[in-house]
Amino acid sequence: MRQVLDEAAKGGYGVGAFNVNNMEQIQAIMEAARETKSPVIVQASRGARAYSNDHFLYHLMLAATEVYPEIPTVLHLDHGNSVETCKSAIEMGFTSVMMDGSLLADGKTPSDFDYNVKVTREVVEMAHAKGVTVEGEIGCLGGIEDGHGAGLDGLSHLTDPQQAVEFVAASGLDALAIAIGTSHGAYKFSSAPTGETLKMSRLIEIHKRLPNTHLVMHGSSSVPKDLQDVINQYGGKLKPTWGVPVEEIQLGIKNGVRKINVDTDNRLAITGAIRKVFAETPEKFDPRDYMKPARDAMKKVVALRMTQFGQAGHAGDYTAIPLAEMAKRYAAK
């Protein structure tokens, strides 16, 4: 992932990181990448790894690189809760891991600065020896995703700019996730976010202090009303909610954001498409009859985000560096 983010920095664009749990989601992401000619980050949380089993997930990703050889593709561990979790992902073949030391190993309790540095540094040393990229986090996001998160309000533990500088220097990480008011899940904001709820000024300040560090925006689904409406039209009961406006993400990209995590939007697209098939053709029972439109709906959202983030058209800019070569580059630093 370090190479993908370095290239994004050169080109001044961001790269979407899309969560997966099954074959159809991986296919949707890769088809969108081919359609838009985009490099791509495919990421799996601990919950996804438990749901699909690492071996299935890894071999689905191998299939993706065989079917789409022209697409620079990253397999990233999202929100690793411990050194052991990151180690298991690296051994399985993940090319990038996140050590989220902002929370303790239970994935729920906010940690302190020293603990975060210690575990992140340990993962960096282990990962870089294998050529694997490391993302860390300072500050805590709001909400809970796949059982990971303190369930706090997005404004509870914002990233302190000076601490961010100290954390990057002490840990040696490749990418830094920051807390600026976003949350996991669909219910990020109860009204359209403003400067009081989404602290873009904090992001800009961090970028000024860390101009050469790749920043990461988590909880960055935009939760479009049209996707909510499809679900509710066909029997769903989503409460009104607002996500992160694409315009704010684009402002972030202009200020050092290179990786943007998107999950909820894809879940909404899939669920709306499945509900529509069930409602309009209740006689259908073949999973392919509803998984095909679900896959197509997710592909449409992913392709749109790839275009909006600026990564479209950049898949052919460079040749992917093998992990062994990356390990040599890390060792030479």
* Catalytic residue list: 78
Torsion of CA 146, 148, 153, 157, to 10 degrees: -150
Nearest to 95 by CA among 114, 77, 112: 77
Q: Which residues contact 312 (CB under 8 A, 6 or more apart)?
A: 36, 37, 38, 306
Question: CA dihedral defined by 251, 25, 38, 260, rounded to 10 degrees?
Answer: 20
CA distances from 331 to 2, 129, 223, 325 (A): 14, 7, 41, 10
C-alpha span between 99 and 136 (Å, rounded): 5
The closest of 98, 66, 83, 85 to 1, measured between CA atoms, is 98
Could you give the count of Cα atoms lying within 13 Å of 200 in the half-sphere of its Cβ? 17
**Is 159 in a helix, a strand, or coil?**
coil
Q: How far is CA 258 from the centre of its chain?
A: 11
Nearest to 41 by CA among 305, 265, 321, 260: 260
Phi-psi map region of 245: left, alpha, beta (phi>0 left; psi -120 to 50 alpha): beta
Tokens 């791509």 correspond to what residue? 40
For the record, the structure tokens of 220 come out as 């960055």
